[in-house]
Structure 1
Amino acid sequence: MVGSSASSTPSTRGPRYYLAMATAKAASVALKALHRNAGQFPGALAEAIDPDFMAHIDKPEHVVFVSGTNGKTTTNNLLNDLLVDNGFELVDNRAGGNIANGIESTFIKNAGITGRQKLSTAVMELDELSSRLVFPHVTPDIMLVTNLYRDSFSRNANPDFIFSVMSEKIPASTKLVLNADDLISCRMAPQCKERVYFALGPMPEDEKEAQGIACDLTACPECGGRLEYDYCHMRHLGRAHCTSCGFTNPEPQYVVTRIDREAHTFTVEERPRGGAEERLSALGAGTDGEGQPRSYTYHFGTYSLTNIYNLLAALVVARELGVSPEAIAASFERGINVTAARYSEREVGEYRLIALASKGENSTATSVALDTIRREQGDKILMLMLADAHKAENPVQTEYIGWYYQSDFEYLTDPTFKQIVVQGATSEDLLLRLRLAGVDMDKLVMVATPTEAADAVDLTLTHDVYWAYDIFNGGDVESSRNRLIERIEAGELAPREVKNLAKVDAEAEPEDAAGAEDEGAAAADATGADVASAEDATGADTASADAPQMNASQPVIEVLYPEYGNQAGDNGNVMYLRACLPNATFVETSHGSVPYFAEHTPDLIIMCNMTERQQEAVIEQLRPYRDRLAQLIDEGVYMLFTGNAAEVLGKGIRDAKTGAVEGLDLLDITTERTMRRRYLTVNVGAFAPEPGSDPMEVVGFKIQFTQVFAGGIDGAFMENSVGWGLNEKVSSEGVRKNNLLATWMIGPVLPLNPDFTRWLLKNATGHEVPLAFEQEARAAYNKRVQELKTPGMHLAH
């Protein structure tokens, strides 16, 4: 074993510690006797007795942590199997419990009654947010970070936030094993000087730009400049460089140079690192004696780029722990490989029934799963069970659905999908998103239960049936799969009669809404509308005279910084606008461009939720145009700012850690930012279109690090009946100044609120605008209003 030991035990143990240890050990024994998983409870119990238990308990001499957004569970389990197969005796937490209490429970499991650790080496999965609680007391020898993507927004906010939480807390003596293809996580913890990088080299199927409807890496993470990709493997993973500052990927020491899908092998080249050839030689790698890198070939099971990344990450850590390439290759040949915990396939006669899980509320994992299914050969039927069934069981909590707008459901327009069955608590929201993606209504079935999902399947269409599901819905998947097996074995191929909730009351749909559906379908593709960047629309740095002007039949919508304003699914606002306004011109103003509004007057300006670092960049981008924005506000131009976008318009943002940022001073608000605390609520409020008019109910979610305080000059966007407003002590939500509308609600607001959207578009364009997919939007809205009014309702996280 190489590396330094974990942090030593303080000498301040007292009676609380020994009581905590004894109680936790007893709880572990009792849970084991009851055949229950002791993933977190013993640690939580010990900490309740001794709040400093993590500091007091002994740690194994050597610790390896595996973390990252996607792949950490798979990679951790694979690494454990690989090391055990090569003679290591390990402490692991693979049964669950990757948060701080779970780490404590793992140490308790490996300890004697005094806390002395039995085994000297631990390889454990570590939750990204929990790292700030663990690292002060545990110094790992090696820290593997698989990648950083956007995850559940209600819990993990954005990759910038997760990066900052992890980066500053990792001990300087820890060796980092990082993904060189990820320009987000590869920059982590500059205080750690011992760094090892892995990567995939250029592949035949690579693309020239990042993938996904909402990319996590839309600009240089160092200067905010434009990124240009040399090649991109998947999502934002690949090799790129900044056209402004030159920032690019670090050079990897372990590189996959070839993947042979027919032979089920991949080749890894081990390159010498500067000044460390002796170290590589000690590991049995390095050069061939003439300065040339050595290459080794390994076996893989099921192919996907995700699996290759997981295998590569695990073998790199094993190499850094001294396991030889030959030993690793032998283990992979013996069947040590990516487990099928999130993939299962059953064959029943001529039918293949395949279940593919993804992480709940994780748009990247879901998009990769859908793309994997899309790329499978032949026609297919897909069952979508993406809503968290456990959260749905709680009558006073609701699941955040904004992540649907960041998932690539556009993949499902592929003609090989012959039927798509939707089931789950948030089916109405998902159905609207699928329509916006352009999925054919004739292929869609929405049902209430997993059993009905199986009954709805038309087995005459294809022999391949897939489930894409949230990891907590495994029981529902198995019940529906077993029901489908019963039908297959009985020779019942035609679907049973079920209530298709996607088509209930379709005949009662208003004519204008039906017309909007036709228009919306044509505009579902982002390229369906007339789209121009601000630079294109203006010719160069200034607006040209023949740029599109306000027109009743062709309104101009300016989207400010769309590469930033896509957090928490707020990109769904613009997605819905495009579907409702297929004849509009959408002008996108990106970082470094002169805004269209600088010399022209759009019908509507919209800017949406972004990261905190992006907020500060946007303030500086807009500062030269502050007076022009003030003029447009006074002239009554319609503007919509959602999420934290409006904070850039205030007097300033005060952050206790980073200091104050001066805002544009266009709104009479001051923002207090606290990155160590998240504020979550659900909102139902009354929005009055005009003074004295009947209000309409508007709904949404709030997930933020800020509290906002109004000076009293500007009016409120709405008055809440459910949830707090600008801050936890007031019910007034948002700000309204003339026709500038600012709400901190996300969701996204426009698809969630058809009445408000209809009013906004009528006033911004000067004429009635049919809503796209109004039937689906209104069904989701009606359910949401009723749900959020339940006493005690809160947002699950």
Structure 2
Amino acid sequence: MFAKTITAITAAKTVRLFLRIFGGGATAAPGLVAERIDPTILSRLTSRLPKKVIITGTNGKTTTSRILSTILSFNGIKTIHNREGSNLTRGIVSTLIEKSNLLASSEADIGVFEVDEATLPEAVSKINPDVIVINNLFRDQLDRYGEVNKIHKRWSEVLANLPSNTTIILNSDDPSVAELGNSTKAKTLYFGIEDEKMSLLRLSHASDFISCLSCGYELKFDHIYLSHLGKYLCNNCGLKRPKPTYFAHSIKFLGSEGSVAKINTPQGRFDISAQIPGLYNLYNIIAAVTAAISLGIKVENIEKSLRDYKSAFGRAEKLEINGKSIFVFLAKNPTGFNEVIRTVFWDKERKNVFLIINDLIADGTDVSWLWDVDFELLKNKVDQVWISGLRAADMSLRLKYADIAVDSSNVNEDIEESLDQALKKLKTGETLYIFPTYTALLNLQKILRSKKVTGAFWEN
């Protein structure tokens, strides 16, 4: 059987070499080939790692896993991490094989694996993780995942069967995630936000879990931080938000440039000045901090390692091109889009916006989710708007119903042509805020690379 594993690794490394030679990313195909040859290869490769962490959730898993990997590496811990974001089992196998020799050995102390939310059951059974982090659960790609209740049921079944020596880290502010801690023998840690100033006035259209998962009664929210995340209580059965022992407070937004906050943990308190903006990214930071502490990292070392963390491409990274600035924010579902809008338009300054909407499989072929995004919040806050991507017409129609005027000449399915038009109209020193869906983000990456525009994503 081990001969089959060696054959799989050899074949995968060969595939990776050829793909890299011809300009491919080689983030998934090598793993797919390896799994075809040896279906047990993921278990075999991860069984040799002393520690394993799985991070999942609808939004934030890429950022959370990158932050945790940064903290661990800063502290001298050799880490294997699928940092390119290929989060199906084939992507994890590709990463493991890249970092392993032909005998399936690596020098890593720990594996940090971002895992697709629908892949969690398979990943847990094969990886046997020591720590599982679950950020949140929102509606995403209805054509692929179905309703969120189906994902929640799968997660609940997985966590119910975990051994007691596993640590699970749950978002206490998300009722669909926090509830998972009620049916597991594993050690459970909760993280969240404790800052009433961050509370919204009402639940958004994109809120998914507003009814009690125990009895079906409508939840009462004292504070709403984003979507259905906040401080909640069921007046019928008594289910309520678990009090987080790891939390952020005294939060201050700095717009697209980042935010500052205080972090409380049982092991100590510290201040952070995050270069990644938005409340949603503070959730990602707290999740990563909680995981790091559970792995034995000291608070003072976590504080130091967070100082220089920079976002991944498409996660609020700032780029410069011909004297103009670009901010790129991945926007792949209603909640994510709403939070990006909230973050970018926190002040009263009007912005130049470029929306890129695709409907390929990785984006979700059903774009009806655009109608659940609160684009009405952009009214009187945008200066110029450009729309591109395969579903540019749908996006244009959505803005029309939001009473946001868009010049028809600014609607073009060709992303590169539309980007060139936008940059040409911008004055030196102005900023363009780009909101692409997932495959549109990949298209944009290639276009910017061809224009010799690089940032932290390529440096890493």
- Which category of TM-score, normalised to the shorter sequence, fits these structures? 0.7 to 0.9
> Does 2:194 match 1:201?
yes
TM-score normalized with structure 1 length: 0.51
- Would the alpha carbon gap of residues 352 and 14 (structure 1) be closer, same or farther in structure 2, given more than 3 Å must change? closer
> Where does 1:682-701 land on structure 2 (aligned, <5 Å)?
none
Residues 47 and 458 of structure 1, relative CA distance in 2, 3 Å threshold: closer
Candidates 297, 300, 305, aligned match of 1:326? 300
Query: What letter corresponds to residue 388 of structure 2 in structure 1?
Result: Q
Shift of the 139–256 alpha-carbon distance from structure 1 to 2, 3 Å rule, reads same
Equivalent residue runs for 1:289-328 within 5 Å: 294-328=268-302
Change in CA separation of 1:380 and 1:192 when aligned onto 2, cut-off 3 Å? same
Displacement of 1:238:
0.8
How big is the shift at 1:82? 1.3
Contact 1:218 1:227 in 2 (8 A): yes
Closer, same or farther: CA 422–346 of 1 in aligned 2, 3 Å? same
**Correspondent of 1:38 among 9, 21, 26:** 26
Q: Is the CA contact 1:75–1:311 (under 8 Å) kept in the aligned structure 2?
A: yes
State whether residues 65 and 125 of structure 1, in contact with CA within 8 Å, keep that contact through their aligned partners in structure 2. yes
Matched, 1:49 2:37: yes
1:124 maps to which residue?
A: 113
Structure number with the higher helix fraction is 2
Q: Is the 8 A contact 1:385 1:422 kept in 2?
A: yes
Mean Cα deviation higher: 160-169 or 313-322:
160-169
8 A Cα contact 1:74 1:339, kept in partner: yes
Residue 399 of structure 1 pairs with residue 365 of structure 2? yes
Code of the aligned partner of 2:342: D
Residue 139 of structure 2 is aligned with which of 140, 150, 158? 150
1:240 CA displacement:
0.8
1:18 and 1:346 mapped to 2: Cα distance?
Answer: 42
Residues 606-652 of structure 1: CA distance to partner in whole angstroms, max 9, x if unpaired?
A: xxxxxxxxxxxxxxxxxxxxxxxxxxxxxxxxxxxxxxxxxxxxxxx
Tell me what 1:214 maps to.
Answer: 206
Query: Per-residue CA shift, 1:332-380, capped at 9, x if unaligned?
Result: 23x135445432435678x7533323244x2222222223232244122
Q: Distance in 2 between matches of 1:340 and 1:19?
A: 34
Query: Post-superposition shift, 1:448?
Result: 4.0
User: Which residue of the partner structure matches residue 733 of structure 1?
Assistant: none
Q: Deviation digits for residues 68-119 of structure 1, max 9, x if unmatched?
A: 1101001111111111011101111113431111222233334333334442
Structure with more contact order per residue of length (Cα contacts < 8 Å, sep ≥ 6): 2
Q: What one-letter code is carried by the residue in structure 1 that aligns with 2:390?
A: A
Seen in structure 2, the aligned counterparts of structure 1 residues 319 and 357 have a Cα distance that, compared at 3 Å, is same
Residues 352, 219 of structure 1: CA spacing in aligned structure 2 closer, same or farther, 3 A cutoff? Answer: farther
Residues 1:172 and 2:163 aligned together: yes
Shift of 1:35: 6.0
Deviations 1:711-768 (A, max 9, x none): xxxxxxxxxxxxxxxxxxxxxxxxxxxxxxxxxxxxxxxxxxxxxxxxxxxxxxxxxx
Matched-pair contact (CA < 8 Å) for 2:385–2:406: no
**1:447–1:241 Cα change, 3 Å:** same
Matches of 2:107 and 2:61, distance apart in 1: 25
* Alignment CA distance shift 1:227-1:42 (3 Å): same
| Distance of aligned partners of 1:122 and 1:258 in 2 relative to their CA distance in 1, 3 Å threshold | same
> Is residue 363 from structure 1 mapped to residue 334 from structure 2 by the alignment?
yes
Match of 1:381 in 2: 352
**C-alpha contact 2:411 2:418 (8 A) present in aligned 1:** no
Matched, 1:437 2:402: yes
Q: How many residues align?
A: 442
- Give the corresponding residue for 2:220: 228
Question: Does 1:412 find its partner at 2:345?
Answer: no
- In structure 2, the residue corresponding to 1:405 is in which secondary structure? helix
Aligned residue in 2 for 1:473: 440
**Equivalents in 2 of 1:89, 1:483: separation in Å?**
33
Counterpart contact for 2:327–2:431, Cα < 8 Å? no
CA-atom RMSD in angstroms: 3.3
**Aligned residue identity for 2:59:** N
The separation in 2 between residues aligned to 1:120 and 1:99, in whole angstroms, is 22
Distance 1:64 1:237, change over 3 A: same
What is residue 71 of structure 1 aligned with on the other side? 60
Query: How much has 1:30 moved relative to structure 2?
Result: 4.7
Partner AA of 2:186 in structure 1: K
Residues 356 and 388, structure 2, Cα contact 8 Å, conserved in 1? yes
Instruction: Give the TM-score normalised by the residue count of structure 2.
Output: 0.85
Distance 1:483 1:59 in 2: 40
Q: 1:168 to 1:59 in 2, by over 3 A?
A: farther
- Residues 138 and 409 of structure 1: is their aligned pair in 2 closer, same or farther, counting only changes over 3 Å? same
Return the offset for 1:125. 0.9
How far the C-alpha of 1:142 sits from its partner, in A, is 0.5
Could you tell me how far apart the structure 1 residues matched to 2:34 and 2:50 are?
Answer: 21
TM-superposed CA distance for 1:269, in Å, is 1.9
Q: Deviations over 1:153-209 (max 9, x none)?
A: 122222211122223124233210111111111122622430001111023131243
- In structure 2, what is the Cα distance between the partners aligned to 1:481 and 1:98? 24
Partners of 2:82 and 2:449 in 1: CA distance: 31
What CA deviation, in whole Å up to 9, does each residue of 1:465-486 have, x standing for no partner? 32221233246547988999xx
What corresponds to 1:255 in structure 2?
Answer: 247
1:60 aligned partner: 49
Within the candidate set 415, 424, 432, 2:389 is matched to 424
**CA deviation after TM superposition for structure 1 residue 239, in Å:** 0.5
Q: 1:257 to 1:427 in 2, by over 3 A?
A: closer
SS at match of 2:69: helix
Between the aligned partners of 1:134 and 1:403, the Cα distance in structure 2 is 28
SS at match of 1:240: strand
Q: Any stretches of 5+ residues in structure 1 without a counterpart? A: 1-12, 272-284, 286-293, 393-397, 485-797
What secondary structure, in the 3-state scheme, does the structure 1 residue paired with 2:103 have? coil
Instruction: Tell me the percent identity.
Output: 25
